[in-house]
Every structure is written in structure tokens, then in C-alpha cells.
Amino acid sequence: MKPKHPELYTTTRRRPLPRLSPPTSPCAMEHYECIDKIGDGATGVVHKARDRRTGEIVAVKRLRGGIIAGGYGGDTDEEFLREVRCLEAWRGHSSLIELRAAHRESGAAYYIVMEYIDGPSMGRVLREERHGRPFPEAEVRRLMRQLVDGVRAMHRDGFMHRDLKPDNVVIDAHGDLKICDFGMSRTTTAGVPPYTSTVVTLWYRAPELNLGS
């Protein structure tokens, strides 16, 4: 039987994506060893894992199919494909998390494998390390340039993040940032009102949108 979305099974490099073994763990792909849970958000659970073939440490996101399909107005295949397309669009960009692989397992298990950043989120830095103290101005300028560069790349390729906040920006070992968590992203041609459709974190929306103006 021909799959509904054959493009789910290939990457932009047209290589077959890893086959999944029976789901015996939260990230039960035969090529990946689950190490630890590192995130739990509205659209999925993320685990730190090891690629058994290369030894690379990666982040494996298992999408919450039922929540996405029921709560965010879409077929889960479409939601999965949308997030994968977002990640594929900017492979290699220094300010955006990079896709490694993706797979849809029969039985509605959806996995996205991404590069792993061994560092805190910007939200954690602000809450736990800075304790409300301001960053030096030069550091703010440097980080904001990286952030704007990443957002500009998304917009140039026709995507909007729609849940950009400190907890969705991670800081790597070199002190550089990467934007992550594209589960709520949309294309500008997706047929969804881009500025008024639902986003997860209302506190980070523009005030006029929350007021309906």
C-alpha cells in the first residue's frame, strides 16, 4: 500500500530514514540508545540518545500525535511532515537546530532526530545563572545578532516559529545560541492565519494580538 506521505520516509539528501524497532522505550529506534529525558513540551517528549552506528549524541523527539491532531487543528502526518520540512529547510544554519533523521512508525509513533546541544536554554540561564542580573551589552548584541539571523533565515524560507521564547533557545558550549522546538511552526502558505492562529505560550505574543486588536 502506498504511504499517504511518501516524502516522510526520505530526507533532503534522499537517503532512507532509520527503521524503528518495536517501541520498547520512549525513543525505541534500533539505531539509537535512549540515555535520558531532557524535555517535555506541548508537541512532544525529547530524549537524549546515542547513535549506535556513529557514537554521536543526538536529541530524539517523539511527537504527541493525539495532542497535535486533536488540539492544534491537523492530521498528525501533516504536523509531523511540517516540522520535518521546517528543519530540512535550513540544514547547516549556525543559529538553528539541525535535523539528523525522521521516521513515522506504523502505529502512530512519530520520531524526529536532531543534533544535541549540551547546554542550557536561555530561559534557564536567565532564571538560574543570571538571577535577574542583566547581561553585558556586548553579549546581548552578540546573542541578538545570532537570534535575528536565525529568525531571518526562517522567514526567508517561508516559515514562522510561532513559539519563540527563552526556553526555546539553547546555548552551546561556545556560548552561541540555537533556536529549537519547531513543533508549532507554520509556513506562510499553509492556509493558517499566521499572526492570529493559536500558539502555545501566550505570554510571548504581541500584546495587541492577545487583546484581539
> By mean pLDDT, which of 40-44, 109-113, 168-172 is the weakest?
40-44
Flag whether 178 is marked binding.
Answer: no
Q: Tell me the fold of 122-210.
A: Transferase(Phosphotransferase); domain 1 (1.10.510)
Which residues pair with residue 60 across a beta bridge? 47, 113
Nine-digit cell string for 129 = 545563572
Q: Where in the chain is the domain with CATH 1.10.510.10?
A: 122-210
pTM more than 0.75 = no
- CA–CA gap between residue 142 and residue 134 (Å, rounded): 14
Is 36 assigned a catalytic role?
A: no
**Active-site choice (163, 172, 176, 181):** 163
Nine-digit cell string for 58 = 543526538
Q: Where in the chain is the domain with CATH 3.30.200.20?
A: 18-115
Listed residue (79, 90, 84) closest to 152, CA to CA: 90
The whole-number pLDDT of residue 131 equals 75
Q: What mean pLDDT comes out for the span 42-57?
A: 88
β-strands 159-160, 109-115 pairing: unpaired
- CA–CA gap between residue 33 and residue 55 (Å, rounded): 10
Which range scores top for mean pLDDT: 70-74, 126-130, 136-140?
A: 136-140
pLDDT band at 138 (very low <50, low <70, confident <90, very high): very high
The whole-number pLDDT of residue 152 equals 92
What class, spelled out in words, does domain 18-115 have in CATH?
Answer: alpha beta
